[in-house]
Amino acid sequence: MRYDIKNEKLICEIDVHGAELKSLKRISDGKEYMWSGDPAYWNRTSPVLFPFVGGVKDKLYRHEGKEYTIGQHGFARDMDFTLESQSGDEIWFSLSETEESLGKYPFRFLLGIGYKIEDTKVKVMWEVKNTDDDTMFFSIGAHPGFAVESLKGHAFMLRDKEGKKVTSIKNRVFGKGGCVTDRTEECELQDGVLLLSEELFDNDALVLENDQIGSVTLSDDHGTPSLTVKFDAPLVGLWSPPHKNAPFVCIEPWYGRCDPESFTGELKDRDYEQKLAPGEVFKASYEIVIEGE
């Protein structure tokens, strides 16, 4: 089932399955900004990544000496959420553990996902509560895909947390099995601009760590902006399916990351892992701002 929220400028459609944003349209001309989810390229639109961002080495992780099996990006994106509240311009969904999830992830939790339209932007909000008796470890991230006619002819404008144009970026290089290597590649940028191309994603996503970026604007190569994703997350992934020249690109704020190829530690030792004491709540958000409205 899908639900709508809207104001006089934008309308959003969210599916209860995964609490996933499926459509974001400008009312004045009906322009759709979200990727359609065509399975020929990628059958999702904007999944939430919880309680893992990316993959764990060999699809196994360890917690307090016990091994667990988990797939890439966790399980929340594949579960039906519960509608908690809805008004004209804001909606909230919730998800908690099940007996099946406890077999993959041994923590009790309450995950809230909210969407609110404010003028020409959509604010996506996360709340994670530890309802367990022990310290909870988790990652959470966004994976929204935005429609483009083609990668070529489009660009990203990258700005730091202070809003300044970024002069260079360091990308953590992907390796095998959905893990990253210990290598980084540095790329110099001209006036903050990263041109998009099919070749840019030959080695999978670009992983920009350590608070390098605070916003990413998607524009055409003449500099006309379409939308901006703003965030305070420590990492952002930039992705389009390798070798497919897909008509969409993803801008993904993350609070967590996949394992390195060399990782041998426990869940608590993972890079960028979040933790909550019993009863504690984690809150974060990001914004999708429609430009030129």
Summarize the confidence of residues 280-286 as an average pLDDT.
Answer: 98
Using alpha carbons, select from 56, 26, 49, 94 the residue that is nearest to residue 239.
Answer: 49
Using alpha carbons, select from 207, 204, 206, 208 the residue that is nearest to residue 244.
Answer: 204
Distance CA 206, CA 187 (A): 11
pLDDT on residue 293: 62
pLDDT on residue 189: 95
pLDDT tens per residue across span 240-252: 999 999 999 999 9
Mean pLDDT of all residues belonging to the chain: 95
Summarize the confidence of residues 233-237 as an average pLDDT.
Answer: 97
CB 94 within 8 A of CB 81: yes
pLDDT on residue 222: 79
pLDDT tens per residue across span 68-119: 999 899 999 999 999 999 998 999 999 999 999 999 999 999 999 999 999 9
Which amino acid type is present at position 30?
G
Summarize the confidence of residues 212-234 as an average pLDDT.
Answer: 94
pLDDT on residue 219: 94
pTM for this model (two decimals): 0.96
Check residues 174 and 280 and name the one with the higher pLDDT. 280
**Is domain 2-290 given the CATH code 2.70.98.10 in the classification?**
yes
Q: Where are the domains of the chain?
A: 2-290
* pLDDT tier, 48 (very low <50, low <70, confident <90, very high otherwise): very high
pLDDT on residue 178: 86
* pLDDT tier, 177 (very low <50, low <70, confident <90, very high otherwise): confident
Using alpha carbons, select from 213, 211, 240 the residue that is nearest to residue 143.
Answer: 240
CB 206 within 8 A of CB 186: no
- Neighbouring CB atoms inside 10 A of 162's CB total 6
